[in-house]
Structure 1
């Protein structure tokens, strides 16, 4: 893939799309512009974003219709669309796009009045829950922020606490959410151990990520016990992944 600097990503894709004049990519640029507008304003999206990128069979169709030069442009546009998550992670420090529709579904289905977000990063999901009137507490050890240019781009105030310490301190919340736990180390399993140690009534514990994919460790997906429910299905129906990563909420038993 041609290397595109982060600062020129949007200009590059807009320029290519304007040259192509194809509705299928025109609509996706409109979607990207709206997402970036929300991120710049530090507000959650109203609902999950639409799918970005072009399906292989559609690419095959355009290969027969376009000139060789225009098809190369379309291939580059598709590569840029498929790398949108990487772009927002480097520019805004977020991997998951928080949206009010999903947050409201969680609040309604689980009767949530207070929430703890652990490993919150820039706390985009906490911002969404707070927008709905939920008492949100965002925590992170903030080690990653020391070497990141996005470390000070918070969407919501973050308390400096490890996930385990946060669970011990704020165990009285209605729900705990971990979004995009790393797929290395032992943080996700340490969280489950701390959660299982809670005596008496426990908050619900949800992880947002991709099963056996971009988030959490292989040990987590192999040994964690997951709960299935109509409520969780309803919540996940509000999430439509905008790329090849199958992002879902998982509830720990």
Structure 2
């Protein structure tokens, strides 16, 4: 769906549900998020949970015959962002501030950066992506910031020695490139910090990676990075040390 069409639908819902404060807040947040990404900037605030409870739906169904359609449309936000702006990982400016406060001005490298909204917003971060988005919902990258066309494993081999932090957000769940990257970092004894953003055993990354990686869920980096739809993606720090047999 085109973002303009989606936004018009949301605005129509907002007028129709104007007496339902909780629903209006969700709709407003969705509209603000779409407008922000359309302008190539991160939304100011985290999204609220966009799901409508079954109790709310049943309670309002007689008054609002389209409430189940609204519930579905709210949860379609991520797909709209993917198709229109090449954005899989949805974050916000408050969370970026959290990351900067936590890490300080460390030199970073982002792998599989997509349109570069994450690493570019963090600053001090080299952006890399192979830009081969065939088979994806969007096939035409439009990077927000300068980005080097480079395979993820090649990028880490080329730039790990210059990087204190490596980011990998929403790696594909096909192939095992993420696992190959982790193995390489372990083999060379890389001493930096490796952060992965994704849904464990779900929509992102390979099953091998989730099985083998030693992960730490950091409260400070997830306070303003909470799931807003049916995908439960979180920020993890990956332990580079090899598992003991």
TM-score by length of 1: 0.85
**1:56-205 paired onto structure 2 within 5 Å:** 56-63=54-61, 66-67=62-63, 70-71=64-65, 73-130=66-123, 135-144=124-133, 151-171=140-160, 172-199=162-189, 202-205=191-194
Give 3-state SS (helix, strand or coil) of 2:188's partner: coil
Q: Is the 8 A contact 1:99 1:128 kept in 2?
A: no
How many angstroms apart in 2 are the aligned matches of 1:244 and 1:128?
25
How many angstroms apart in 1 are the aligned matches of 2:24 and 2:204?
31
Given candidates 3, 8, 25, the residue that maps to 1:11 is 8
What do the CA deviations read for 1:193-214 (whole angstroms, capped 9, x no partner)?
1211334x52211110111111
> Cα gap change, 1:179/1:192 in structure 2, threshold over 3 Å: closer, same or farther?
same
Say if 2:226 is the partner of 1:234: no
Runs of 4+ more than 6 Å apart = 145-148
Aligned length: 237
RMSD: 2.2
Say which structure is richer in helix: 1
Q: Is the 8 A contact 1:44 1:127 kept in 2?
A: no
TM-score by length of 2: 0.87
How many angstroms apart in 2 are the aligned matches of 1:218 and 1:44?
30
Segments of structure 2 that go 5 or more residues without pairing to the other structure are 240-245
Give 3-state SS (helix, strand or coil) of 2:168's partner: strand
> Cα gap change, 1:86/1:94 in structure 2, threshold over 3 Å: closer, same or farther?
same
User: Structure 1 residues 96-105 or 14-23, which shifts more?
Assistant: 14-23
> Cα gap change, 1:5/1:129 in structure 2, threshold over 3 Å: closer, same or farther?
closer
How many angstroms apart in 2 are the aligned matches of 1:211 and 1:147?
21
Given candidates 47, 50, 54, the residue that maps to 2:48 is 50
Given candidates 215, 228, 232, the residue that maps to 1:246 is 232
Segments of structure 1 that go 5 or more residues without pairing to the other structure are none
How many angstroms apart in 2 are the aligned matches of 1:78 and 1:167?
41
